Amino acid sequence: MSEKEALGDTTLNGDKAKPDSENNVKQEAGDSEKPPGDQCEFGGHEGQRPTRLYKRRWLIVLLFSSYSLCNSFQWIQYGIINNIFMNFYNVDAFTIDWMSMIYMLTYIPFIFPVTWLLDKKGLRVIALVATALNCAGTWIKVASVRPNLFAVTFLGQFCCSFAQVFILGMPSRIASVWFGSGEVSTACSIGVFGNQLGIAIGFLVPPILVPNVEDMDELASHIKVMFYMTAGVATLLFILVVFVFQERPELPPTQAQATARLIPPEQYSYTASILRLLRNKPFILLIITYGLNVGCFYAVGTLLNRMIIVHYPGEEVNAGRIGLTIVIAGMVGSLICGIWLDKTKTYKQTTLAVYFMSLVGMIVYAATLNLGHLWVVFITAGALGFFMTGYLPLGFEFAVELTYPESEGTSSGLLNCSAQVFGIIFTICQGKIIDGFGTLAGNIFLCVFLLIGTIMTGLIKSDLRRQNANMLAKAAAERQMSGQDYGATTLISTPQTPPSQA
């Protein structure tokens, strides 16, 4: 396939870099950069395909991170003031728990058609649908601020949960499509960062905006302010995605991505891809271990208000601050882990170490929750969040390495599907255990599964296929440039006449 054919379906919104007559690329000032280690072009020679890094990649990942933030904020906005919404809508605690769990339940049946749509229509269509659904859900909630309209607010939350299906699996796909091999893990961490920051704000802001007051009219006005603010932000982000979000760069960022682009769409089978992934034993182990870890995080986040109020009555605001501490620490952990992976490529070792420390953090948190000192809970919750939430981008990037050249959206979707299944199971079970036996027993329940996940992570074989593909392409290019072996690039292209004989 020629370069023109490979790039024929590229969508650009203003910053094109066009190939010239000798298969090189004219670099526009201030628009694109040479990716270290990935840039290698030859006049009239297609052995090593041209690659570019565009500055717009940072705008794309930050815009994605922003609308992911807006969506994830709403996941926990009911649960963190569980007792207040129970009073306003006159429902029980388990019903309000479902306002968080609906995010998990919706994901499970819809992830496979959404992943298929991502592969067929691309990033831009998925981004438009995600922000449109999220925007619609926020405005439905604005219309639900009356004690007899719980069904309406649940409908709004369902729309937002449906939007999440179009968001959660995107970070690794955006990183692969837009970023160089030396920065994909950092880019993925930034994508996950938005989701985590949204959860952090969801822990912090609702207890401040919606105080626990007895007057129903005053309480309704506080809830309406929160819903209007969310709707305004969601609407702005939808408009920005319409006018700014771009499908992909004209030229790929890496040789691995260039090779992936050459696969004709008619040769790609979504069903066959799923079956190949399900036969990949290391990836199956990762699906289970990722689900166990992230499912524990979902349970802790959903039930945090109930756990704190049991031991520290009247501390709704501090419960939110503890949730904020968990997620902020996790954001720091995510960024550090992403940068570490880009520098060292030690995927399995890092994943195993972070998983083990998540177990240690959960044990310490469980043991100190009932000591009667909130400052201790802040510290132990922060340590737990640093590792448990910091694990999220590690799982995404390790999955892409184990499954290359399969679609990043498909592998991420399977990971997140596992997380939602375990999240629902753990949330329901831990909630029942807390009601019957107390918070310590509920947290020990989670510790057992984190121990199982740690052991299983140690059994995952580290088969870094994407890194191997990039290393083979670079080695072939170096041999070709030195003139020692012009046939070395046959692994990635058809044989070419050496420049000296052209």
H/E stretch holding 32: strand 32-33
**Are 57 and 179 spatial neighbours (Cβ–Cβ below 8 Å)?**
yes
* pLDDT number for residue 327: 84
Return the bridge partners of 33, or none.
53
One-letter identity of residue 270: Y
One-letter identity of residue 457: T
Q: Name the fold adopted by 269-481.
A: Growth Hormone; Chain: A; (1.20.1250)
Q: Name the fold adopted by 54-255.
A: Growth Hormone; Chain: A; (1.20.1250)
* pLDDT number for residue 268: 64
Burial of 55 (0-12, 13-18, 19+ CB in 10 A): exposed
| Tens-binned pLDDT, residue by residue, of the chain (502 aa) | 433 333 333 333 334 443 333 333 333 333 444 444 444 443 334 456 787 888 888 999 999 999 999 999 998 899 888 889 999 999 988 899 899 889 989 988 898 888 888 878 888 999 999 999 999 999 999 999 999 999 999 999 999 999 999 998 788 788 888 888 778 778 887 887 888 889 889 988 999 999 988 889 999 999 999 999 999 999 999 999 999 998 888 788 877 777 777 777 666 677 777 888 888 888 999 999 999 999 999 899 888 888 998 888 888 888 888 988 988 898 888 778 878 887 877 888 888 999 999 999 999 999 999 888 889 999 999 999 999 888 887 887 888 888 887 777 778 778 888 998 999 999 999 989 998 898 999 999 999 999 999 999 999 887 777 777 677 777 777 777 776 554 444 444 444 444 444 3
**Are 268 and 33 spatial neighbours (Cβ–Cβ below 8 Å)?**
no
* pLDDT number for residue 116: 84
* pLDDT number for residue 200: 86
Confidence (pTM): 0.70
- The residues near 436 (Cβ < 8 Å, ≥ 6 apart) are none
Measured CA to CA, the distance from residue 250 to residue 25 in angstroms comes to 11
- The residues near 181 (Cβ < 8 Å, ≥ 6 apart) are 35, 37, 38, 253, 254, 256, 466, 467, 470
Three-state DSSP class for residue 174: helix
Which ranges in the chain are annotated with CATH 1.20.1250.20? 54-255, 269-481
* pLDDT number for residue 214: 87
